[in-house]
Amino acid sequence: MKLLAVETSTEACSAALFIDGEVKERFELAPKEHTKLILPMIDSLMTDAGLKPQQLDALAFSRGPGSFTGVRIATGVIQGIALGADLPVVPVSTLAAIAQDYFDHNEENVAFVAMDARMDEIFWGVYRRDAQGYAELISDEAVTPADAVEFPDLTGVGIGSGWGVYHQELMTRLAGHVSYYEADRLPRAGAIARLGARGFEQGLAVPVEQAMPVYLRDKVAKKESER
């Protein structure tokens, strides 16, 4: 199977190519440079592999949550390629990608994922490693204050930027459930590619017109009365 994936929902920008189980990735930490970087990253991967978009089986993208602008960039890039090459698309949760990248390099089996969502909130999701090694959502993703997160009665590790900003609130709320946290772990296209290929196998690919972002939050800024 051949699948191209992109991820631009945070300050990191990345693209990855999945070919029959092997993943090649371009990754750069470059805030506000995503529009300049993502297409050259894609071109580099495709040129090195000797592939044209029409030779791919599917595409995958980080559908959010994350930066509104960043999520729109990934969505727009993938929609453009999908339309031009008539390819199906697998939308992948940004939170799932953070968990997947962690599981691919560590032995813990449960990840409490928190991304800083600004406005005193976090994007939140709890993931477990399934029997095949893939991140499986075990509670609904949400946007929530850190001291009000809901979680199952499991123990694991905290990962994501939300742990850097709200570690005190989260450690208090999840006392006895989290052994340690890693706040600097960002989503990567390599994990999007792995989860995208898995989703394709499970029949989760959609036509391009259904490949839409998921923001979790419906508004960018609070009104004065809500602050």
162 CB contacts (<8 Å, ≥6 apart)? 114, 115, 116, 117, 122, 123, 124, 146, 170, 183
> What's the CATH class of domain 94-182?
alpha beta
- What are the start and end residues of each CATH 3.30.420.40 domain in the chain? 2-93+187-210, 94-182
Q: How high is the mean pLDDT of the chain?
A: 95
Q: What is the pTM of this model?
A: 0.94
Q: Are 199 and 172 in contact (CB under 8 A)?
A: no
Looking at domain 2-93+187-210, which of 3.10.28.10, 2.10.109.10, 3.90.1150.10, 3.30.420.40 is its CATH number? 3.30.420.40
The separation between CA 142 and the C-alpha centre of its own chain, rounded to angstroms, equals 14
The token pair at 67 is 């930066």
For 53, counting Cβ atoms within 10 Å of its Cβ (0-12 exposed, 13-18 middle, 19+ buried), the class is middle
Rounded CA separation 7/73 (Å)? 9
For the stretch 84-123, pLDDT in tens is 999 999 999 999 999 999 999 999 999 999 999 999 999 9
**3-class DSSP assignment, residue 225:** helix
Q: What pLDDT does 139 receive?
A: 87
